[in-house]
Amino acid sequence: MTTVFANSKSVTVLQGEYRVSTDPKIMFSTVLGSCIAACIYDPENGVGGMNHFLLANARQGGAANARYGVHAMELLINGILKKGAIRSNLKAKVFGGAKMSANLSDIGAANTEFVQQFLRDEGIPCVSSSVGGTSARRVRFHACSGAAQQTHVKDDRKLGELEQRAAARPAPAPVPAAGAAPAGVVDLF
């Protein structure tokens, strides 16, 4: 499985974005604190993608933005289906949802609860996940095979502060779709 990552071109997925691919040389990568990355794929047809959402729900309108869970999940699923996936083949792997600050509300838990319920409601099995905890993680996802890798991020305090500020900002205009130093052990999913 590690050769899948060694021979891949990395494409970063930022907050409020999603990416979909059928290219076996593409690997998606992101760094998460309280945010969630849903990695959804169709292993039979070699298509998949990753999103990165900041909040489960919009606070005051603005739900039609990939920063928010419902819109991010719909964009990702529709993007994968448009690339040839069959809905009944879809599988998910979910990452993130950490509690990044002991003094603030647990955005990560709300995000985790949202994505798990969304996947159940849509009938998409979550075959693997790494959520919660108190540290950030770097996630790499090979969309065609469904292989995923996670590394915990050293000194993630700054990431938590950035996520809290981003959550407080108004939603930016939607981003059109396009096809932290690691520390510790790498987990494969």
The domain in which residue 146 lies consists of 2-181
For 97-114, what is the mean pLDDT? 90
CA pair distance 66, 52, nearest whole angstrom: 8
Q: Which of 101-105, 108-112, 128-132, 149-153 has the lowest mean pLDDT?
A: 101-105
Percent of the chain with pLDDT over 90: 64
Q: Answer yes or no: pTM beyond 0.85.
A: no
Quick one: CA dihedral 144, 30, 133, 69, positive or negative? negative
CATH of the domain at 108: 3.30.1330.200
* 187 is a domain residue: no
Res 173 pLDDT > 60: no
Q: How far is CA 106 from CA 38, 43, 53, 102, in A?
A: 19, 33, 15, 8
Opening angle at CA 86, ends 2 and 175, nearest 5: 75
* 122 is a domain residue: yes
Res 102 pLDDT > 60: yes
* 189 is a domain residue: no
8-64, pLDDT tens digit by residue?
A: 899 999 999 999 999 999 999 999 999 999 999 999 999 999 999 998 886 655 556
Domain count, the chain: 1
* 10 is a domain residue: yes
* 131 is a domain residue: yes
* 188 is a domain residue: no
More confident residue, 105 or 59: 105
* 143 is a domain residue: yes
More confident residue, 173 or 69: 69
Interhelix angle 107-122/157-168, rounded to 10 degrees, is 70
